[in-house]
Structure 1
Amino acid sequence: MSVRITQSMLSERFLADYQAALRRIARAEEQLATGRKVVRPSDDPVIALRALRTESLLRDIAQFRRNADYARSFLDAQERSLAEGEDLLKRVRELLVQGSNTALSREARDAVASELRAVREQFAAVANTNLGGRYVFSGEATTEPAYGPAGLLDTPPAQRPLVAVLSPGVSLPLGVTAVELFRPLPGGEDLFRFLERAEDVVRTGGDVNAVLGDFEGFENNWLRRHTYVGSLQNRLELMAARLDDQAVSGERLLSETADTDLAEAVTRLTTAQNVYQAALGVGARILLPSLADFLR
């Protein structure tokens, strides 16, 4: 059974091919303009989904890298303060050794005691080290100074160090708290009270050697906490380097998945334009007889 091909059928076929050619040109131009293989999910759902997942991963990595940058600043601030504190501790030892000399005059003892008080005030500044409006030794209570008129801040939040989340399920403590740093033994004497006591002992000519023995605990604790912060800085750099590598790999994967190959896109556009021009030529030959017949 033969099928009669009418002029209307030819015209409809031409219009369908014409529209398809226009769509191919539009898509090729869109890919060149945006630099993306897939402009909308309907273009290629599989590639679109893969690109969305990669972009989501890259956003997470970017946030983790910001967390790492803040953690680096936070730990650096603590490290500088800990180094300053070590210098102050050395001065305290020198003053205590000086004050242990029983031959000192009353005026000399007063001078040593006054300097111990000045060192205690410097330690208060160390405890209240501030980074962008946040107290770095106040644990989770970053808006409250670690040391004030009431003494050392030892509320539960102040005893919990901040943590930085650096990947799913992986976090890094942001250094030490003032409670850990200034109070070697839980519930024991803190460094500020010790310095008050040392000042009184020196001023009154008491047993400074006994005070020196107690001082070693504060020295050792400070050095141990300083070493711990240094180890956290090293861990952070390793984690940050891993995040940098992941970001580079993710960007490369996203580029391979979603970015347009310019040479290939230009070729597709040229081909689509040639097909479009050919379709116009065919259409002119299809439509012309009908128009001529109509004119006759």
Structure 2
Amino acid sequence: MRTSYLYPSTLMLATLLAACGGGSSSSDSNPAVTPVTPVTPVTPVSPPASGDTGSVSMPFASSATGRYLLLAVASQSTGPLTTVTQGSTGALSAIAGTTFTGNPAITREISGDASFAQGRWFAGTMTGSTGATVLSGNNASAHYTVYKTVAALPASGSLACDAGSFTAPSYTGGSVIGQDAYFGTASGSATLSFGAAGAALAMTVDATAGGSAGRISGAGPVSVPASTAMTGGFLGGSTGMLLALGEGAVTGSYLVIGGYKVTLANGANYQGVATFRCS
């Protein structure tokens, strides 16, 4: 089943995610609703310049084993990738029943290859089963990644992961900041190994915005290819991570995928997604 979530007409979005609590793995069974305190809407910045940013080396090769993660302000959704549409720039305009349209419809930090597609919906209209939300170029971005699950987990082995692909962390609340700090930059690292318990995933993200910095780390087991591992207060709007394992573009390679929420030293909260290639 696909998790459902609400999209009100303002930035006060509700949280709905099918997953278990912190530090555990989950699949799509036993969906749970976790409320979250909405953030205070912020004034939109000046109209953004048109045009997507970033690129992909190859179009995403969708398959029956595809899954997705969509992380907006005070909402997150993950589940089977029932539908996906990718444009000529590599940006996605449809993800499992949610569409992104507009004139222009702007996507930032596009990245990916045949095994995944990632980006941040920045300006346009995001429409789901419960309604539409206008993203006007303020902090209300929606971060996404789509990927393919592995057919089976290897019995053993440790892999080295690259420097990762990141969307720009976007402000979601906490301390009051200026418009120039609505978005930041991110870097990090990931590790991946396999053993009798399945896959052991770990990720660290360093985020910086407005002259302040913060770090979030998470780790967890994935015993079933399509499951996810969550740490901290990811569902409740606090700091934490959702981690997933994906199939890489090259035989024998894998992806460590994560959505994260981090608080910077100045008390401002940010979120984003990251994908690491491991071989």
**Given the two structures, how large is their TM-score scaled by the length of structure 2?**
0.20
Which has more radius of gyration? 1
**Greater relative contact order (Cα < 8 A, sep 6+):** 1
User: Which has more helix, going by share of residues?
Assistant: 1
**Given the two structures, how large is their TM-score scaled by the length of structure 1?**
0.19
